[in-house]
Each structure stands twice: as C-alpha cells, then as structure tokens.
A and B are shown apart, each in its own frame.
Chain A
C-alpha cells in the first residue's frame, strides 16, 4: 500500500502508460514485420512472374536444374532463382510438374535449405513446362523486417520521456487543490473553528472538507461549553470568596464585638458555601466519567429512602418542615446501581424540597414498584418549578431567578446525571397543592 497519493497516482498512471506503450510497441512490431514479410513475398511473386516472362531469353546454361543464380550485391536485395523447362510444347497439354531432376519444385511458397542458409522460396510455372523458383534468404528477410519494425518504433521511444514528464506535471497540477486545502488547514490557529470555506474546492475533496467543518463545529461547541463551564464555575466561586473577604475585612475594622461576631459568622458561612460548591464541582467532574456508576449492586430503594430521610429530618425540622415517608410497597424495590450515588441523588432532591417549601408545610417521599421499575416521588407544597423553566433547571449553574436561596445551581445537574447513569428519568408534575418530582429507575439499572 502506497501511503502517498501522489506516488499512488504516479504509479497507476505510469504503470498504465507503460503497459499501453508496451502493447502498442509489440503490436506495431508484429504488424510491421508481417507487412514487410507480405511485401517481400509479393516481391518474390513478382520476380517469379518476371522470370517466366523472360524465361526464353535466359541463358540455356542457367537451366541447370539445381544451380541457383544469385543476383544483387546488397544483402537485402539478394535474390536467388533457378529455372527449368520441361519438354516445351510436348503434346498432351499442360504440364503441372517438372520431370526430374527438378523434383523438389513446388508451386507457391516454401522454406528450403541450400547454400548453408534457410531460404524463402516461391515456385511458379506458366503451365506450359516452364518452371521457375525465386528465393530470398530467410535471415536477411527477417533482419530487414526487424530493422523496418524497429524504425517504426522510434517515435514511441520519444513518447516515453514526454509522457513521463506530462504525467508528473499532471499529477502535480491535479493535486494542487489538495495542497491548497492542506495549506489552509495548516494556517489556521488552534482556536480558529470557523468553517474552512469549500467554495473553490473540487467536488472530490468537498465531502472531506464538509466533514472537517462539521468536526470543527462540534469541537467549537464543545470548547465553548467547556469555556462557559469554567467561567461559570469561577463566577460561582468568586461570590462566596468575595463574601468571605468582605466579612473578614468588616470584622477586622469592627470594634463592636456583636457586629464582629456577625461578620465572622459570615466568613464561616462563605467558607462553607465555597466548600459545598467545590464538592459539587468535583462530584460533577467525577460523574462525567461513565465508569463512575460502578460498583453496581442490588440497592433497596425503600431502605435507601428511609436512611436518607432519617439523615435529613433534623435539618427539615430546623426549618419547621414535616419530612416523612409514605406508601412503601410490599414488593421488592431493588434496583441495580451505585448506592452512594443514589444516596447523593436523593439527598439533593430532598434538600431542594425542604429549602423551597414554605415553613410549616410537609414534604413526603413515596416509593412504588411497578413493571417498568421503581418510582420515587417527592411531593412538597412549595412553589415548584415554572413549566417553561423545567428544561433549564438541569443546566449546570442555572438558578431560577429570585428563588431567594443560596445555591450553586449544580444540585439538579448532579441529580439528572446520576439518574441518567442508572438509566432513569426525572419528571416534574404539579399537584393540587404542591409540586412533585418523580424519579423512575429501571430495575436492571
């Protein structure tokens, strides 16, 4: 496999041209030789005819049957002939064959050996007892044909280097659009994600450029998402940091011990918020790896719900919220999953519920086992999430404006990611008085 497109084209074109050239040369060679041989044969026939016409004027001594007369000094022209007359004018009509000693006379062409050479011999007779044979040395005939054929091939020899140059130039010119595209790709900066612009590109490269452009667009949107995520994360971290710094500076200049204590509490609260945010960011970044769902074990969701609710009840009570569990099914609520992650998911959902529901109201968790899987429903009497914002609340850092609660906007992103890792789905529904978040987790996980 040749890796270079240019070498590949050169090899293919060069090979094809050499093959075509060889075929042409062989055909011309054979064709020319045959033509020359036919021409020489015709000459032998004509000479034989001439001899028959001149037969009676030839010296009688030349009628010695086995004596070949040779004419011409040039090897090419060298022709031998012999003549024989059989009882001219004998009765009985035409004489087809000479009587002895010219037994070996044959009409038409044949090859014969004499004088130490192979000869091409043509025999003719006038049908009246006159027999002639004209012969041409076979090797001379062949070499003549070869020389003529070789002559015919001369232009083809010139074609070889000419074609080589043309092929090389054609490949070079033909690949020029590719070079331009390469140069265009090489020129671009690492953060330049604009389309390459395929206006002038040939049709063959266009699909590649289109694919590249689509890739650039995907990478650009990925980079943009990453950039926005980092910017949002920095923004979210800056606010607690600013709060810590401000409260610390207030505390340093405050002489009133009560006010200083308030400011120092602000420092601690800010540090707690920053810590929680960092933990959530780390959690999200861990959740981005798909392998995080492992280990997958049987998790009883009803047990898990009771465990997490028990953990959060004190916090809910501190806010004056009645947190409880309802309708636990008798059937198994086991799903295959990561108990730690599922716990984080439940904790986040319950935390949201008790934070956004008014004081003195109730938050109820219910678990139900069905054919499709296990359904966890968390119902509160809070304002819920406006229908038009329900798609957006899963976006990282998105916070419903005016919610009045501190938060990073990462909690529901984490919930959605954990549910997704377990093949689950989340739905929001408005109740007659309140709001329900349902998480459906398939048994198989």
Chain B
C-alpha cells in the first residue's frame, strides 16, 4: 500500500512518515500543495494523508481539484483546526475522514486501514482468499488458521495482490506499492517475493501472467 503524506511541518511530517512506515506502508511525503498535486498525477497512491494549511496550494483546494479530476483516492484530512465548520468543510471538500492534531498514531493507522479496506470494496477487516487469511492491522497471515511468518515486503506484496483479487497487478504496480520515491529497486525483487509467498503458502495461490505481472484469481 502506498500512502501520499502531505504535511508542511517538517518535524511532524517526519514523525507521521515514520509511523506510517511502521504500519508497513510505503510513504511518499511532500510539504507543498503543488508538489502533492503533481505527485497525484504521476504516482498511484492508495490513500492520502492531507494537512490543510499548506504552502503552494492549501489542502482543501488540493482536495477539491483532486475530486474534480475524478480521482476517488481515499483522503484522510489531518489538521489542527477542529471547529465544526472546519470539519464539515474538510469532509464536504471530498475528505473521507478527519483527524485533529494531536492524534494517536494507532488511530491514524486504523482509520487509514479502514479507508483502504472500504476503497477496495470490503468491510471485513480480515482479507480472506481460500485457505489464506490476511489481517492488515496486525500484519498477520494465516494458512488454514496457522500463522505464517512473512517479511514486511512479502506481506505488502501479498496484501496488494489479495486486495485486488481477480485483477492483474503489473510488475510496476507492485513495485510502486513496495517502494517509495527514491528507493532503489532490485531488478527481480518482485519475482523473489512472489516465489517466497508461493513457497510459504501454497504454489497455486499466485498465478503469473507472462510478460505482464501476477494475479490472485477471484474466489470461485
């Protein structure tokens, strides 16, 4: 999962980025509204954590323009303004959720998980596919109710594929969900993660679409 964090306060942004990374997400962080808009055009994010007061373009304007462009990405508005009018304005501009600073990191993570879940069209916090169950909150994966140990990136790869069950994820899409801006990507790392997942879970779980990417078929 790839989260775009837009927060102009360097200290807070650093903390939130670290907190989101702890939850296993890939975080792209920008401090400027215009940069954020550019990022939204060039990178596919699964969710946005958006501050309101921003240089370049304020958060509500950015939100309005994102929605006007038809981008349905879940947006969690993060702000120090907590009056009813501020909250209503944030939600009416197209925000999906609202957190007032200072906030609990665990709550931010949980709300983001809920937003991501809903955006993928499911209300069940546990993602299930056949014998495999994945809990995004605890980062646990079960095969026939037995816990399976996965590395962070293996987990992220599996989550990306399971949340998009029935749809092909291209290699570059999978890489996008695994690496932030500026991170070095190994040439065949995705293959390695998929190989490990097949080995640890079961060989038929992930199918290769030759020359394109991978798919977990929808449940029959």
A246 near B15: Cβ-Cβ < 8 Å: yes
Decide yes or no whether A249 CB sits under 8 A from chain B. yes
Are B19 and A249 touching (Cβ within 8 A)? Answer: yes
Answer whether A235 and B9 are a contact pair too, CB < 8 Å, given A246-B16, A247-B15, A402-B32. no
Q: How far is the CB of B215 from chain A (nearest CB, A)?
A: 33
- Give the residues in chain B near A249, CB-CB below 8 Å: 19, 104-106
Does A421 sit within 8 A of B, measured CB to CB? no
Which residues on A sit within 8 Å (CB–CB) of B19? 246, 249-250
With a CB–CB cut-off of 8 A, which chain A residues contact B81?
Answer: 235
- Any chain B CB within 8 A of the CB of A339? no
Q: Which residues of chain A have C-beta atoms less than 8 A from B100's C-beta?
A: 238
A266 to chain B, nearest CB (A): 5
Tell me whether B18 is interfacial, beta carbon within 8 Å.
yes
| A254: chain B residues within 8 A (beta carbon) | 18, 22
User: Within the complex, which residue of A238, A243, A401, A402 is in contact with B11, where a contact is CB–CB below 8 Å?
Assistant: A243
Cβ of B101 under 8 Å from chain A: yes
Bound CA span A26–B31, Å: 96
Residue of B nearest to A244 (CB): B102
Size of interface on A: residues with Cβ below 8 Å to B? 29
| Nearest CB in chain B to that of A263: its residue | B18
A259 interface hit (Cβ, 8 Å): yes
Nearest CB in chain B to that of A401: its residue: B55
In the complex, what residues of A have CB within 8 A of residue B31's CB? Answer: 404
B207 within 8 A of A: no
Residues of the A chain whose Cβ atoms lie less than 8 Å from the Cβ of B102: 238, 241-242, 244-246
**Hey, what's the 0/1 contact readout for A224-257 against B, CB within 8 Å counting as 1?**
0000000000111011111111110110011000
CA distance A406 to B31 in the complex (A): 12
B residues near A430, Cβ cutoff 8 Å: none
**Interface flag for A262 (CB, 8 Å):** yes
Can you list 30 A-B pairs with a CB-CB distance of less than 8 A?
A236-B80, A238-B80, A238-B100, A238-B101, A239-B9, A241-B101, A242-B80, A242-B102, A243-B15, A245-B102, A245-B103, A246-B12, A246-B15, A247-B11, A247-B14, A247-B15, A249-B19, A249-B106, A250-B19, A253-B22, A263-B15, A263-B18, A270-B11, A270-B12, A270-B15, A273-B11, A401-B55, A402-B32, A403-B55, A406-B11
Chain A residues with CB under 8 Å of B15's CB are 242-243, 246-247, 250, 263, 266, 270
For B14, list chain A residues within 8 Å (CB): 243, 247, 266
Cβ contact within 8 Å between B105 and A266:
no
**Interface: A41 (CB within 8 A):** no
Residues of A within 8 A of B18 (CB): 246-247, 250, 254, 259, 262-263, 266
* Contact status A246-B105, CB under 8 Å: yes
Contact B56–A235 (Cβ < 8 Å):
no
- Which chain B positions have C-beta within 8 A of A259? 18
* Most A CB within 10 A of own CB, among B15, B16, B56, B104: B15
CB-CB < 8 A to A402: which residues of B?
32, 55-56
Q: In whole angstroms, what is the CA distance A40 to B16 when docked?
A: 119
**Which partner residue on chain A sits nearest B12 by CB separation?**
A243
Please, which residues of chain B bring their CB within 8 A of the CB of A213?
A: none
State whether the Cβ of A49 lies closer than 8 Å to any Cβ in chain B.
Answer: no
Q: Which residues of A contact B16 (CB under 8 A)?
A: 246
Partner of B101, one of A242, A247, A250: A242
CB of A65 closer than 8 Å to a CB of B: no
A96 at the interface (CB under 8 A from B): no
Partner of B80, one of A239, A246, A273, A404: A239
Q: In the complex, what residues of A have CB within 8 A of residue B192's CB?
A: none
A387-428 near B? 1/0 per residue, CB < 8 Å: 000000000000001111010000000000000000000000
In the complex, which of the residues B12, B32, B56, B104 contacts A239, with contact meaning CB atoms closer than 8 Å?
A: B12
Which parts of B3-28 form the interface with A (CB within 8 Å)?
9-12, 14-16, 18-19, 22
Nearest-CB distance from A399 to chain B (Å)?
A: 9
State A409–B179 Cα separation when bound (angstroms): 36
A322 within 8 A of partner (CB): no
* Known contacts A243-B9, A402-B32; A250/B22 CB under 8 A: yes
Contacts of A146 in B (CB 8 A): none
- CA of A269 to CA of B10 in the docked complex: distance in angstroms? 11
Answer whether A235 and B80 are a contact pair too, CB < 8 Å, given A240-B11, A245-B102, A266-B15. yes
The chain B residue sitting closest to A239, CB to CB, is: B9
Chain B: minimal CB distance from A418 (Å)? 27
The complex places the Cα of A127 from the Cα of B185 at a distance, in Å, of: 159
Question: Distance in Å from the Cβ of B54 to the closest Cβ of chain A?
Answer: 8
A sample of 11 more A-B contacts (CB under 8 A), given A250-B22, A266-B11, A269-B11, is A235-B80, A238-B100, A238-B101, A238-B102, A243-B9, A247-B11, A250-B15, A259-B18, A273-B11, A402-B55, A406-B11
Bound Cα distance A249, B55 (Å) = 27
How long is the Cα–Cα vector from A322 to B10 in the complex, in angstroms? 26
In the complex, what residues of B have CB within 8 A of residue A401's CB? Answer: 55-56
Bound-state CA distance A240–B13 (Å) is: 11
- Nearest CB on B from A248, distance (A): 9
Interface string of A250-283 (1 = CB under 8 A from B): 1001100001001100100110010000000000
User: Which residue of the partner chain A has the closest CB to B14?
Assistant: A266
**Chain A, Cβ-Cβ closest to B83:** A231
Residue on B with the closest CB to A402?
B55
Most central of B12, B55, B103, B104 by chain A CB within 10 Å: B12
Q: Which residues of B contact A245 (CB under 8 A)?
A: 102-105
Residues of the B chain whose Cβ atoms lie less than 8 Å from the Cβ of A266: 11, 14-15, 18
Q: Say whether A242 contacts B103, CB under 8 Å.
A: yes
CB distance from A94 to the nearest CB of B (A): 119
